[in-house]
Amino acid sequence: MGKSVILVVRLVAFVCLVGSLIILLTSSQYSDNERLFYTDEQLETKFTDFRVYVYMLVSIGVGIAYNLFQTILSLSIGVSLLDLFGDMIIANILVSGAAATYGYTLELSRVADLEPTSFFNKIFVSAGLSLLASLFTLISLLSCHVALKATAN
């Protein structure tokens, strides 16, 4: 039971991370950015214009790579201590990326006195999916702990 639960939870976390990555990569808009960048021209705002969004991109990439690696590893050798500690580290990375992105986006829209736009909404959805993936990674962490405890007895 433990191994199948871990695989399903990893698959759901992987799907959430891929969805978050797709939404983040497609988030851009053309708008009047004079309040945001203090220019008179219309610019394209992309997620790469802000370092915190690039950090989120990296954390999502690390999460996707880890989930693929651990899924292949757990299919071949089963549950190990690497699963337990890896899940703990990846969950922290995903939470920090999503929380930094959410907080920065909220403050950016508040300070610049901007209306909610599709750009900010996409960033919020991407951060939410990343937080959901971290929740499923924590469920995987607990499942790994239970599975390791059961094999020790």
Q: SS3 sequence, the chain?
A: CHHHHHHHHHHHHHHHHHHHHHHHHCCEEEEECHHHHCCCCEEEEEHHHCHHHHHHHHHHHHHHHHHHHHHHHHHHHCCCHHHHHHHHHHHHHHHHHHHHHHHHHHHHHHHCCCCCCHHHHHHHHHHHHHHHHHHHHHHHHHHHHHHHHHHHC
pLDDT tens for residues 20-46? 999 988 877 655 555 555 555 555 666
| pLDDT in the model for residue 153 | 67
Q: 11 falls in which pLDDT band (50, 70, 90)?
A: very high
pLDDT tens for residues 65-108? 999 998 888 777 777 777 888 889 999 999 999 999 998 888 88
CA 54 to chain centre: 12
| pLDDT in the model for residue 61 | 95
| pLDDT in the model for residue 7 | 87
| pLDDT in the model for residue 47 | 64
Give 128 or 145, the one with higher predicted confidence: 128
The tokens 């959901």 sit on which residue? 132
Listed range (9-13, 115-119, 128-132) with the worst mean pLDDT: 115-119
Distance between CA atoms of residues 135 and 139, nearest Å = 6
Distance between CA atoms of residues 15 and 55, nearest Å = 20
Distances (CA, A) of 152 to 18, 68, 79, 83, 148: 34, 26, 12, 15, 6
Q: Is the pLDDT of residue 143 over 60?
A: yes
Whether pTM > 0.85 for this model: the answer is: no
Cα-trace Rg, the chain:
18
